[in-house]
Amino acid sequence: DIQMTQSPSSLSASVGDRVTITCRTSQSINTYLNWYQQKPGKAPNLLIYVTSNLQSGVPSRFSGSGSGTDFTLSISSLQPEDSATYFCQQSYSIPWTFGQGTNVEIK
Amino acid sequence: EVQLVESGGGLIQPGGSLRLSCAASGFTVSHNYMSWVRQAPGKGLEWVSVFYSAGNTFYADSVKGRFTISRDNSKNTLYLQMNSLRAEDTAVYYCAREVTDSGTHYYFDSWGQGTLVTVSS
């Protein structure tokens, strides 16, 4: 199975800050990497697919990059509504696996 | 509008069985890849099973031999039959639709609200 390691596990930042979350995989997955946002008590919501493609309706302050084993999710200017947990997920090979999540808190 | 509505969760004793349902609307289940993903309380996401449009099915090792994914095309509904339940199966179970941009890259674009399964005596 492909192991996913996200860092940091949590962060606290101010409104307007640039935030970066990293996802590292145990083997190369090309660009088969997706990002989800989950708010408490809600289902995950797709943010970015295939490393860097913004899902329809997702604000442009979100962006993704990377390839191989190292990927990043960036929020260019953090907003109060971005307080959530973010998960990366590989779709290179079954079983699909997720990172452990990064909890983003607003200071 | 794409909508997924799970049902069937509840409190069940260890060793018991439960069947979850995921009723879809706004699209055809049999034309899509459909997965179950679970989340234990306070934990991360764990993929459980997928039903490919062609009919193939796959399972996480943690549930293989105990869980069975199926679909009813006439009801546009996905199911997860869970047998020999264990305490570690306690989780919110989500059904999710997988879509592709190119036929090779897949991702979960739509999720249900989830149904809670609690395995406890």
Residue B104 has pLDDT above 90, yes or no: no
Minimum distance, in Å, between the CA of residue B61 and any CA atom of chain A: 9
Minimum distance, in Å, between the CA of residue B121 and any CA atom of chain A: 25
What does the alpha-carbon distance between residue A52 and residue A67 come to, in Å, rounded to a whole number? 10
- Whether a cis peptide bond, with omega within 30° of 0, leads into A44 is no
- To probe the interface with A, which of B6, B45, B51 has the most A CB atoms within 10 Å? B45
Question: Cβ contacts (< 8 Å) between B101 and chain A: which residues?
Answer: 49-50, 53
Residue A74 has pLDDT above 90, yes or no: yes
Question: CB-based contact (8 Å) between A80 and chain B?
Answer: no
Minimum distance, in Å, between the CA of residue B115 and any CA atom of chain A: 10
Residue A1: strand, helix, or coil: coil
The predicted model gives A18-35 an average pLDDT of 97
Token pair 């989800």: residue: A36
What does the alpha-carbon distance between residue B44 and residue A100 come to, in Å, rounded to a whole number? 5
Strand partners, A33: A90
Whether B111 contacts A55, CB under 8 Å: no
pLDDT given at position B101:
81
The shortest CB-CB distance from B107 to any of A43, A91, A94 is to: A91
What does the alpha-carbon distance between residue A23 and residue A12 come to, in Å, rounded to a whole number? 18
b/e sequence B24-61, b meaning 16+ C-beta within 10 Å? beebebbebbbbbbbbeeeebbbbbbbbeeeeeebbbe
Extract long-range pairs of A10-15: CB within 8 Å, 24+ residues apart: A10/A102, A10/A103, A10/A104, A10/A105, A11/A102, A11/A103, A11/A104, A11/A105, A12/A105, A12/A106, A12/A107, A13/A78, A13/A104, A13/A105, A13/A106, A13/A107, A14/A78, A14/A106, A14/A107, A15/A78, A15/A79, A15/A80, A15/A106, A15/A107
Whether B21 contacts B6, CB under 8 Å: yes
| Beta-carbon separation of A46 and B107 below 8 A | yes
Question: Between residues 62 and 91 of chain B, which touch chain A (CB distance below 8 Å)?
Answer: none
The shortest CB-CB distance from B44 to any of A43, A55, A100 is to: A100
Residue B43 has pLDDT above 90, yes or no: yes
Amino acid at A36: Y
Question: CB-based contact (8 Å) between A10 and chain B?
Answer: no
Give Rg (Cα) of chain A.
13
Q: What tens digit of pLDDT does each residue of B5-37 get?
A: 999 999 999 999 999 999 999 999 999 999 999
Q: What tens digit of pLDDT does each residue of B56-97 get?
A: 999 999 999 999 999 999 999 999 999 999 999 999 999 999
Sheet holding B77-82, edge to edge: B3-7, B18-25, B77-82, B67-72
Residue B103 has pLDDT above 90, yes or no: no
Token pair 């289940």: residue: B29
Residue B102 has pLDDT above 90, yes or no: no
Report the largest interatomic distance among the alpha carbons of chain B, rounded to a whole angstrom.
47
Pairing label, strands A33-38, B67-72: unpaired
